[in-house]
Amino acid sequence: MKVAELEAQRNQVLREVFGHQKFKSSLQKKAINCILLRKTDVYVSLPTGAGKSLCYQLPAVVHMGITVVVSPLIALITDQVAALRAKGIPSESLNSKLTASERTRIIEDLRNKVPTIKLLYITPEAAATDNMRRILSSLHKRMLLSYFVVDEAHCVTHWGHDFRPDYLRLSALRDVCPDVPWIALTATANAKAQEDIISQLKLKHVETFKASTFRGNLYYDRHLAEFILRCLKVPKNKTSDVMKTEKGSRKMVDNKRSCCLTVLAHMLSMVHIQCLAYHAGLSNKLRDDVQNKWMKNEVPVIAATIAFGMGIDKPDVRFVVHWTCPQNLAAYYQESGRAGRDGQRSYCRIYYSQPDKEFLYFLVRRDLALLKGKKISETARKEQAKAMQHGLEKMVEYAEMAQCRHVCFAKYFGEDDLPPCRMHCDFCKDPKGTIARAACSSTKMMKASKANPENGELYGGGKRGRDDDDYGCNSSDAWERLEREEAVRMRDVVQSEFAKRRKVSAFRRFSCFYWIRVFVVDRRKTRT
What are the domain boundaries of the chain? 3-210, 218-235+255-444+510-521
Give the CB-side neighbour count of residue 67, counting CA atoms within 13 A.
Answer: 31
169 with 202: CB under 8 angstroms?
Answer: no
Does domain 218-235+255-444+510-521 fall under CATH 3.40.50.300? My reply is yes
Does domain 3-210 fall under CATH 3.30.950.10? My reply is no
Q: Report phi then psi at 394, rounded to 5.
A: -70, -30
How confident is the model over 198-220, as pLDDT tens digits?
Answer: 999 999 999 999 999 999 999 99
How confident is the model over 97-150, as pLDDT tens digits?
Answer: 889 999 999 999 999 999 999 999 999 999 988 999 999 999 999 999 999 999
How confident is the model over 296-345, as pLDDT tens digits?
Answer: 899 999 888 876 766 677 889 999 999 888 888 988 998 899 899 888 99
Three-state DSSP class for residue 220: strand
- The whole-number pLDDT of residue 332 equals 92
How confident is the model over 256-303, as pLDDT tens digits?
Answer: 555 577 777 877 888 788 898 888 788 878 888 988 899 889 999 988
Q: Where are the beta strands (DSSP E) in 342-399?
A: 346-352
314 with 339: CB under 8 angstroms?
Answer: no
- Exposure string of 155-189, with b = 16+ CB inside 10 Å and e = fewer, is bbbbbbbbbbebbbebbebbebbeebbbbbbbbbb
| pLDDT above 90 for 492 | no
pTM: 0.75
How many other CB atoms are found less than 10 A from the CB of residue 417? 8
| pLDDT above 50 for 195 | yes
What is the rounded distance in angstroms from the CA atom of residue 306 to the CA atom of residue 498?
A: 21
Establish whether domains 3-210 and 218-235+255-444+510-521 are of one fold. Answer: yes
How confident is the model over 350-375, as pLDDT tens digits?
Answer: 988 878 888 888 888 888 888 777 77
